[in-house]
Amino acid sequence: MKKQLTIGLFGFGCVGTGLYEVLNKTTLLQASIKHIVIKDLSKKRIIDANYFSTDADRILDDEEINVVVELINDYEAAYEIVTKALKSGKHVVSANKKLIAYYLDELISLAKENQVSFLYEASVGGSIPIIRNLEEYYNNDSLSNINGIVNGTTNYILTKTGEGESFDEALKNAQDLGFAELDPTSDVDGFDAKYKLVLLLKHAFGFTAKQDAVWNYGIRQLKDWDATYAREKGLKIKLLAFGTRINNQVIGFVAPHLIPANHFAFNVENEFNAVVVEALFSDKQLFLGKGAGSHPTASAVLSDISALQFDYAYEYKKSKTEERLTFENDFSLKVYVSATTQEKLDEVEFADTLETYSGQSHSYKIGLIRYSEIQKMDWNAASEYFLAVVPDSVELDTKSILSASESTELIEELS
């Protein structure tokens, strides 16, 4: 049975404004915003100033408000808001992937203890309904892989560098269009994608990965010659969040990938996101949609609010099995590594080399590197290098996920 939802909203930026707009355009939802808490009362807003204050307790102490929607950037401030709201018996809808990645199990426990729902579809993939599908549709199917583009900012930048723009030019354009923040660190260094991957691993495999254990490498160090190499080989560079389960071992990381034309992400451009789920019975399925923007993200928030009319809550059934999953670090990756000098390239320890090139402006190698070796370096800060993973090339316990012929075909694509 539907029930009336009275909303207290934290944040009225891009997504908050979009939520107000889409909420007032839908006729199927019995919900209204009673109050909005913001940081700066001096800014002009599209609605009456009486809606706004800077006092969080105006929402948290209001017994009439039964839903808190949290849409602010500060994850520590969001933690205080969300935990108090849950303890007060209010449902919470959030889009704050950093908050959730850091405090996932604690927030799940708080929601359960207080018999309320904590929903966060908008935290991953913008408008793509991936979390609820992992919870419901794939509940009885054995999932083996989940990976994809989950950051619209970096995908826009990589689209433009693939067309010949420099990284700096593409980043500036992304900032001008509102896709990138003035400080783009979270996006271009892969942190944003990592937080989202932590949530995907939870809902795909029932595994809570500590965000500090997940390696994230972004696209900050992409050079013109790397983009040129990809174009000349008929490849594209995409930042992918990768997760796989092999028996009771889980692997997860975020890194640029060099992908061929038959890869699912090859034609996913600009701010679009795409996630592929691979399962035992349903095989591979692709979810595609806008990963950035006011209305696309607000639509996911609206979907969560709508679900609360029927007391929907994530059940985390995959987390309740007796299987003991571990996070695996003992594997190899096939990678492309470029460096500004041959001497710098020689400092990178390859387990096996498949191709080398040495030139005046740069050098590169393609080959196998142990994951433990990759983790020794802060690649985001290493301006002399750029690394890209060859897709589907994880090798665990000397047994490749791919057949030998498939693996050879991938290397030939790069050669």
pLDDT in tens, 161-200: 999 999 999 999 999 887 888 899 999 999 999 999 999 9
- 75 and 201: one domain? no
| Residue 320: per-residue pLDDT | 82
| Residue 54: per-residue pLDDT | 96
Q: 365 an active-site residue?
A: no
- 149 and 270: one domain? yes
Q: Which of 90, 97, 98, 196 is catalytic?
A: 196
- 97 and 157: one domain? no
Q: Is residue 299 part of a domain?
A: no
| Residue 322: per-residue pLDDT | 66
Share of residues in the chain with pLDDT > 70 (%): 94
The four Cα atoms 152, 154, 157, 162 give a dihedral, to 10 degrees, of -100
pLDDT reading at 397 higher than 90: no
The pair of three-digit structure tokens given for residue 171, joined into one six-digit string: 């980043």
Mean pLDDT over each residue of the chain, to the nearest integer: 91
pLDDT reading at 45 higher than 90: no
Using pLDDT thresholds of 50, 70 and 90, give the confidence band for residue 413. low
Q: Is residue 222 part of a domain?
A: yes
Mean pLDDT over residues 45-56, rounded? 93
- 374 and 284: one domain? yes
- 114 and 229: one domain? no
| Residue 74: per-residue pLDDT | 94
Q: How far apart are CA 52 and CA 45, in angstroms?
A: 9
| Residue 139: per-residue pLDDT | 77
Q: How far apart are CA 349 and CA 363, in angstroms?
A: 15
pLDDT reading at 407 higher than 70: no
Mean pLDDT over residues 96-122, rounded? 97
Measured CA to CA in angstroms, residue 364 lies from 340, 344, 345 at distances of: 9, 10, 7
Q: Which residues pair with 241 in a beta bridge?
A: 148, 254
Q: Which residues pair with 287 in a beta bridge?
A: 275
Read out DSSP for 103-169?
Answer: HHHHHHHHHHHTT--EE-GGGSSTT--HHHHHHHTTTTS-EEEEEEE--HHHHHHHHHHHTT--HHH
Q: Is residue 305 part of a domain?
A: no
pLDDT reading at 406 higher than 50: no
pLDDT reading at 399 higher than 90: no
pLDDT reading at 395 higher than 60: yes
Q: Parallel, antiparallel, or unpaired: how do β-strands 143-149 and 272-279 relate?
A: antiparallel
Mean pLDDT over residues 11-40, rounded? 92
| Residue 323: per-residue pLDDT | 77
pLDDT tens-digit map of 312-333: 999 999 998 767 899 999 999 9
| Residue 396: per-residue pLDDT | 64
Q: In what order do the strands lie in the sheet with 67-70?
A: 52-53, 31-37, 5-10, 67-70, 91-94, 118-119
Residue 37 DSSP symbol: E
Q: Tell which of 119, 150, 176 closes a domain.
A: 119
Q: Is residue 306 part of a domain?
A: no
**Domain of 38?**
5-119
Mean pLDDT over residues 355-371, rounded? 96
Report the range of poorest mean pLDDT among 138-147, 205-214, 384-393, 394-403: 394-403
The pTM of this model reads: 0.92
pLDDT tens-digit map of 133-164: 999 988 767 899 999 999 999 999 999 999 99
Mean pLDDT over residues 41-54, rounded? 91
Q: Is residue 126 part of a domain?
A: no
- 246 and 385: one domain? yes
Helices (H), 260-362: 294-308, 342-346
Q: Is residue 252 part of a domain?
A: yes
| Residue 411: per-residue pLDDT | 41
Mean pLDDT over residues 9-36, rounded? 92
- 146 and 112: one domain? no
Q: How far apart are CA 306 and CA 182, in angstroms?
A: 33
| Residue 404: per-residue pLDDT | 32
Using pLDDT thresholds of 50, 70 and 90, give the confidence band for residue 410. very low
Using pLDDT thresholds of 50, 70 and 90, give the confidence band for residue 26. confident
Q: Is residue 188 part of a domain?
A: yes
* Total domains in the fold of the chain: 2
Q: How far apart are CA 330 and CA 50, in angstroms?
A: 57
| Residue 2: per-residue pLDDT | 64
| Residue 235: per-residue pLDDT | 97
Mean pLDDT over residues 235-249, rounded? 95
Q: Is residue 396 part of a domain?
A: yes
CATH number where 182 lies:
3.30.360.10
Measured CA to CA in angstroms, residue 284 lies from 145, 275, 295, 409 at distances of: 9, 10, 28, 20
CATH number where 113 lies:
3.40.50.720
Report the range of poorest mean pLDDT among 63-72, 173-182, 238-247: 173-182
pLDDT reading at 82 higher than 70: yes
pLDDT reading at 415 higher than 50: no
- 205 and 333: one domain? yes
- 163 and 286: one domain? yes
